[in-house]
């Protein structure tokens, strides 16, 4: 009886200790997560960092020419037989709404990309030949001239294997790049998503912003006269 009672006390103490450790480690992990975009502040004017519902930071601000930019991080562990990914999403807003169509491409699609805009576009288009699997879609209003121009740019853009998604829309453009990959052992044995970076390097963020800036120039407002130019 005494042994059983001692065992019970020991088990309860062990469980309580494990729970405390778990809470502490989780709190530390969340604190690390909140700091992931700290380096983005140096790149933006009027920079502001907020914390999203998934506890990843969201940085907003303006780039040098005054356009608004939103930088987000998305944890993705939805795909079986692939390590978890941390995606860096940069959305560059135009100052107004342009007559650009909605068009985008997604690299290595699996169908499980819940964060992708491309899956929701209704018209399937022939993707650029990049040597990897691609999905390219639009809203149905893309003219052949526009498609050709975007295709040419996407071929160059997706030559970078870290680029996951690129979208052009009437309101702006969006680029998604790999920010980090989950730790292998933690995922294979325990299916955990641990990203071993303290913060996303400033070079990666500036590269993504530069890519978004270039993407916004592919279909500039001044050249949107597709019928006459295509002829």
Partner 1 sequence: MADIKSTTGEPQRLQLLRVLGPAHIWALGVGIVLVGEYMGWNFSIGKGGMIAGLVACWVAGLLYTCVAMIDSEVTSTVAAAGGQYAQAKHIVGPLMAFNVGLFLVMAYTMLEAGNAITIGYLLDTVAGLQGHSGLNQQPFIILAVMFLAWLNYRGVLATLNFNLVITGIAFLAIVILFVVVQLGASNVPLDFSAVTTDPLPYGWMGIIASLHFGLWYYLGIEGTCQAAEEVRSPARSLPYGTMAGIMTLLIAATMTWYVCSGLIPWEYLGQAGTPLFDAARVTGSSGLMVLLFIGTIFSTLASANGCINDASRAWFSMGRDRYLPIWFGAVHPVYRTPYRSIVFLVPIALIFALGAPLDQVVTFSILSGLLGYTFMTFNMVMFRNKWPLGSIKRGYVHPMHPLPTIVLLILCASAYFAVFLGYGTQLIAMVGFYIIASLWFHFRRYQYVKRGDQFTMPWPKPQGY
108 touches partner 1 by CB under 8 A: yes
Q: Which of residues 158-187 bind partner 1 (CB under 8 A)?
A: 161-164, 178-186
18 touches partner 1 by CB under 8 A: yes
Q: In sequence order, which ranges of 35-170 are alpha helices (DSSP H)? A: 144-157
Radius of gyration, CA atoms only, the chain: 22
106 contacts 132 by C-beta, under 8 angstroms = no
Smallest distance from partner 1 to CB 174, Å: 17
78 touches partner 1 by CB under 8 A: yes
Cα angle at 164 between 160 and 170, to 5 degrees? Answer: 110
Structure tokens belonging to residue 185: 């052992």
Longest Cα separation, the chain: 93
Mask: binding to partner 1, 122-151, rule CB under 8 A, as x and -?
--x----xxxxxxx----------------
Q: What is the DSSP string of 58-85?
A: EEEEE-TTS-EEEEEEEEE--STTS--E
Query: Which stretch, 43-51, 58-66, 78-86, 212-220, contacts partner 1 (CB under 8 A)?
Result: 78-86
Binding site for partner 1 (CB under 8 A): 3-4, 7, 18, 21-22, 25-26, 28-30, 53-54, 74-83, 85, 107-112, 114, 119, 124, 129-135, 161-164, 178-186, 188-194, 196-197, 201, 204
């Amino acid at each position: 009886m005494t042994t059983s009672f001692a065992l019970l006390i020991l088990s309860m103490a062990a469980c309580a200790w494990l729970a405390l450790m778990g809470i502490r480690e989780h709190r530390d992990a969340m604190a690390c997560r909140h700091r992931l975009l700290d380096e983005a502040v140096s790149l933006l004017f009027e920079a502001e960092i907020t914390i999203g519902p998934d506890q990843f930071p969201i940085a907003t601000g303006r780039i040098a020419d005054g356009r608004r930019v939103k930088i987000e991080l998305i944890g993705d562990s939805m795909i079986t037989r692939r390590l978890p990914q941390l995606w860096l999403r940069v959305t560059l807003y135009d100052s107004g709404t342009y007559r650009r169509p909605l068009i985008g491409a997604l690299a290595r699609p699996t169908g499980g990309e819940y964060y992708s805009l491309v899956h929701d576009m209704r018209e399937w288009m022939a993707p650029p030949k990049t040597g990897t699997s691609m999905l390219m879609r639009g809203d149905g209003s893309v003219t052949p001239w526009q498609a050709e121009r975007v295709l040419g740019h996407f071929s160059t853009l997706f030559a970078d294997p870290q680029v996951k998604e690129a979208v052009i829309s009437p309101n702006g453009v969006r680029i998604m790049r790999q920010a980090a990959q989950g730790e292998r052992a933690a995922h294979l044995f325990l299916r955990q998503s641990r990203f071993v970076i303290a913060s996303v390097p400033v070079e990666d963020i500036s590269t993504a912003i530069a890519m978004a800036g270039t993407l916004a120039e592919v279909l500039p407002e001044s050249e949107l006269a597709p019928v006459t130019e295509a002829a």
